[in-house]
Amino acid sequence: MASDSVIASDLKQLRLQLRQARRSLSNEQQKQHALQAANYLLAMPIWQQSNLSVGVTASFDGELDLTPIISVLKHAHRLFLPCLCADFTLAFAPWQDETEMSANVLGIPEPTTNQRITIDQLDVVLVPLVGVDAQGNRLGMGAGYYDRSLGKARQRPYLIGVAHQCQQVERLPVQPWDIPLDALVTESGLTIWHIHHS
């Protein structure tokens, strides 16, 4: 049991360090990273399919800003934003420019509409993260919303992590319930672990 608690305290420390690293980026760096990552992500062949259902996020706490990506994807695909559920899973609500938003309990904007779908109804999810390793294992904020939602999913969407390069680490401890990413995009490029088969 001791090793579990050691890992837990290490992860807490690592989360703090990585969140600090992304928060310490200047506005200029944030803007540059968002545009560079958008170029890499939008060059992926997956977007040649039309009308995909795509889960995106409103960036928060220094996360990579998806605005340049969203501004392109919204013209050809249906976008959905995550909404927190009482059972600590995520539902996804349709999003357009005019969608009414309000802050959830974590202070992250989410659509106010009651129209919701589950994560397995999405084709692709752009997944926020705190850390990611060379094998595609993701470190989230710690509440487990994505892992819990994906664990319940009948089929999983294609998962693309979105992050700053400074959030990449060599290796993360993996729990049995952790679900690895299929691909990762940062300002430095694109890493693909699993090819998307349409």
pLDDT of residue 173: 87
pLDDT tens per residue across span 16-47: 999 999 999 999 999 999 999 999 999 999 99
Long-range contacts at 102-105 (CB < 8 A, ≥ 24 apart): none
pTM score, two decimals? 0.93
Q: Give which of 129, 118, 144 is closest to 181, Cα–Cα.
A: 129
Signed CA dihedral, 183, 190, 143, 70: sign only: negative
Which domains occur in the chain, in start order?
2-192 (3.40.50.10420)
pLDDT tens per residue across span 113-160: 999 999 999 999 999 999 999 999 999 988 889 999 999 999 999 999
pLDDT tens per residue across span 52-109: 999 999 888 999 999 999 999 999 999 999 999 999 999 999 999 999 999 998 888 9
